[in-house]
Each structure stands twice: as structure tokens, then as C-alpha cells.
Amino acid sequence: MEYKLTTPLTKEALAPLQAGDTVLLSGVVYTARDAAHKRMMELLDAGAPLPFPVEGAAVYYVGPTPERPGQVIGAAGPTTSGRMDAYAPRLLDLGLAAMIGKGGRNQAVQDSVVKNGAVYLAALGGAGALMAGSVESLDIIAWEDLGCEAVRRLEVQDMPLTVILDSHGGNLYASGPAAYLASL
């Protein structure tokens, strides 16, 4: 199935999604990689607010390249999501609705996705220009000193994504290969 979703996301909007579905995501998406996640945890530990509203938010694990003249963003391919596994359950418990990246997630993240009615979406790795084509505007909102890892607020239109982990426990990285092997 293909779904069109707009942020902020709700549990009700995410509930129909199944591992393997296609999502065209529009609205605000925040970028954050490892260094930004570490700083977000430090803020939470200090009782300080995060640089963006996490409730219903989508976070894209990306460190875009510098934009060329006339472009909004440079190549914006996903980074390996496992780098954020230590931080993801805490953010999911605070209402983070969707994570966007590439690669598998550990069991704690998988369990937290189900517990919180969230999803993990994959962006096409190696296709940074394709992903960048969905970005209509970009603002750095926190930690500019982190360079490409600064937190950015992106406005996206129809960003093409695939559901990897759904809120019911589905995992495309487990079911996909199993279905393929069963078809042989």
C-alpha cells in the first residue's frame, strides 16, 4: 500500500501502516545524527527543552552536503540508524512518531516503536539527490557548530520512504528476506 502522510504525525495516522508499505511524507522533518542526539540527551538530563517539539515529529538521520547555488540542500541520503539506537527509545517515549534512516535497529528500538505506536521508515540509501529533491526549505535550528550534523528543520513534500518497523511489530528486514526465501 502507499500512504500520504503529513507531520505532525498521530498514532491513528500511523496505525494502518505495515512493514513494506510506501509512505510519501510531507510537512516538517527535523534532522539529527549522533552528535545532535547526544546533545539532546544532555538537555533532557538537565531538564531543558529540546530544540524542536518532539511530540508527533519525524526525525531524519542525515548530514546533508552543502547546497549548490540555487538549491535548498545538497545530497541528503540517510545515515546508519543504529548509531541512534541508544537514544531512540527515550525520544519515542516523549512522543517521537517517526524515525527515518537506513539499516536495522536493535530490539530495544523495535520494542519501543511498538510500545509508542511509532514507525521506523527507510530512505533510499545511495540516493541523496533523490531525497534532496523532496526538500522545499531548510533552516538550521540548533548547534550550527556541528556542521552537517546540526539540527535542521526541513519542509518536505512527498519524501519517498518505506516502512521498515511498524507499530504492530512488523519488521521488513525480517519478513522481506523470509518471504523471498519462501518463494524460491
**Which of 33, 37, 105, 152 is flagged as catalytic?**
37
The span from the CA of 118 to the CA of 128, in Å, is: 24
| Bridge partners for 150 per DSSP | none
- Active site includes 168? no
Chain segment 127-179, per-residue pLDDT in tens: 788 889 999 999 999 999 999 999 999 999 999 999 999 999 999 999 988 77
CATH tag, 2-183: 3.20.130.10
pTM of model > 0.75: yes
Q: Provide the sign of the torsion angle of the four alpha carbons 157, 159, 160, 161, taken in this order.
A: negative
Query: pLDDT above 70 covers what percent of the chain?
Result: 100
Predicted confidence at residue 126, as pLDDT, reads: 73
